[in-house]
Amino acid sequence: MDINLLTLTSILFVGAVVAGLIGALSGLGGGVIIVPLLTILLKVDIKYAIGTALVSVIATSSGAAAAYVKEGYSNVRIGMFLEVATTIGAVTGAWVAGWLPAETIAIVFGFVLLGSVAMALRGHPEGEIGEKPDPLALKLQLNGTFPTPNGLQSYCPTHVPGGWAMMFVAGILSGLLGIGSGALKVLAMDQIMKLPFKVSTTTSNFMIGVTAAASAGIYLNRGYIDPVLCMPVLLGVLLGALLGSKILAHAKVGVLRVVFNIVLAALAVQMIYSGLTGSL
134 neighbors 156 (Cβ within 8 angstroms): yes
Can you give the pLDDT at residue 178?
A: 63
pLDDT score, position 35: 76
Q: Provide the 3-class DSSP secondary structure of residue 224.
A: coil
At position 267, the amino acid (one-letter code) is L
pLDDT at 127: 45
Which residue positions in the chain have pLDDT lower than 70?
Answer: 1-3, 24, 26-32, 60, 62-64, 94, 97-98, 102, 116, 119-133, 177-180, 183, 249, 251-254, 257, 279-280
| Residue 137, pLDDT score | 82
* CB-based contact 67:245 (threshold 8 Å): yes
Separation of alpha carbons 276 and 270, rounded Å: 10
Percentages helix, strand, coil for the chain, rounded to the nearest 5? 75, 5, 20
* pLDDT value of position 116: 67
Backbone φ, ψ for residue 144 (5° rounding): -165, -170
pTM of the predicted model as reported, rounded to 2 decimal places: 0.69
DSSP track, 139-192: HTT--EEEEETTEEEEE----HHHHHHHHHHHHHHHHHH-S--HHHHHHIIIII
Using DSSP's 3-state secondary structure scheme, residue 124 falls into: coil
Domain residue ranges of the chain, discontinuous segments joined by +: 5-277
Cβ contacts of 85 within 8 Å, gap of 6 or more: 164, 165, 167, 168, 171
| Per-residue pLDDT, 13 | 92
